[in-house]
Amino acid sequence: MNQSSSDWPLWEVFVRSRQGLSHKHVGSLHAADAGMAISNARDVYTRRQEGVSIWVLPADAISASSPADKDILFDPANDKVYRHASFYDLPDEVKNM
C-alpha cells in the first residue's frame, strides 16, 4: 500500500461480539479520524457478523507495560496459589467467568 496509509494515524479496534460481553481487542487499522476509524473497523473487522459494538482509540493513547518489567510485574502473582480464585465451584449458570 502506498504513502497515504502511513500518513494516517494508527487506531486500535475493540469489538463487542455480543451483548453482555466486554469489548475485545481485535486488531488495528489506519484512518484519518475517529469517524473514519469506526467506519473502517466496521468494514475490516465486523463483516462476518462479529460484532454489536465497536470502540476505536488512537494507538498512541495506549500506554503499555514494558516487556523488560515482566518479572517484577507478573512473577510475584505466580507463586501465590492462595490468591487465585480457582477453588470455588462455579454454578453452571455463570457462563463468562
Tally Cβ neighbours within 10 Å of residue 46. Answer: 17
Q: Site mask, another protein, residues 34-73, x = CB under 8 A? A: -xx--xx--xx--x--------------------------
Q: Which residue has cell 481485535?
A: 26
Cβ at position 3, least distance to another protein in Å? 9
C-alpha cell, 7: 500518513
Question: Any residues with CB less than 8 A from the CB of 35 and at least 6 apart, and which?
Answer: none
Size of the site for another protein (CB under 8 A): 16
- Where do contacts with another protein occur on this chain (CB under 8 A)? 1-2, 4-5, 8, 29-32, 35-36, 39-40, 43-44, 47
